[in-house]
Chains A and B, each alone.
Chain A
Amino acid sequence: GENVEQHPSTLSVQEGDSAVIKCTYSDSASNYFPWYKQELGKGPQLIIDIRSNVGEKKDQRIAVTLNKTAKHFSLHITETQPEDSAVYFCAGRSGNTPLVFGKGTRLSVIA
């Protein structure tokens, strides 16, 4: 089955700097890669997703890139703000299989 690895497990950045979180996946048939943000005491919230027919997707300060050959995808957050501090999860799936999540990255944005 699918296996998703996520790095780093913790990340601290200064406010205004960029943050990058990287994930790799094992199943070459995987075709859907969402990113979730989880704030303290809340459920994961989808922030962006990408499908395998696209190499990059951007939504304001957030972008995701996908390299199907290398089987890795990354989340980029530019101009970070304190409210970006949270745990971020990548995930992947192929066909009708369940979503498989990475182990999460705790992002701290220091004002």
Chain B
Amino acid sequence: DTAVSQTPKYLVTQMGNDKSIKCEQNLGHDTMYWYKQDSKKFLKIMFSYNNKELIINETVPNRFSPKSPDKAHLNLHINSLELGDSAVYFCASSQGGHANQPQHFGDGTRLSIL
């Protein structure tokens, strides 16, 4: 009965490859997010979707393309991976757009670029 689940947990790949990370939430929330956590543990928002529509894109390179097939899923596709993309990526969800409701995080996907 995991609330926010991400797959895969670990992703090791070569520079230049294209990869996807999947996220699903079973909380019935209408808003989903992608965050990037760098090696110094700094958490920064990348994207936010409300009811399948993009509402935040925080100056993320267009190599990153989120896709939301429905309210319960927000996948992240990354093209032409670079060394600087190595990080832990977290998916999160909340209810009510950017109303002050708690965000629930998944356990992260550790992406390592060789």
Contacts and interface: CB of A to CB of B under 8 A. Distances in A.
Nearest to A32: B100
B97 A98 contact: no
A96 interface: yes
A5 to B, nearest CB: 12
Interface residues of B, number: 22
B4 A96 contact: no
Nearest to B98: A96
B13 interface: no
A69 B49 CA distance: 33
Nearest to B92: A43
Contacts of B40: 103
B95 to A, nearest CB: 13
Contacts of B92: 43
Contact of B107 (A42, A96, A98): A42
A43 B106 contact: yes
Interface of B: 4, 40-45, 48, 56, 58, 90, 92, 97-98, 100, 102-108
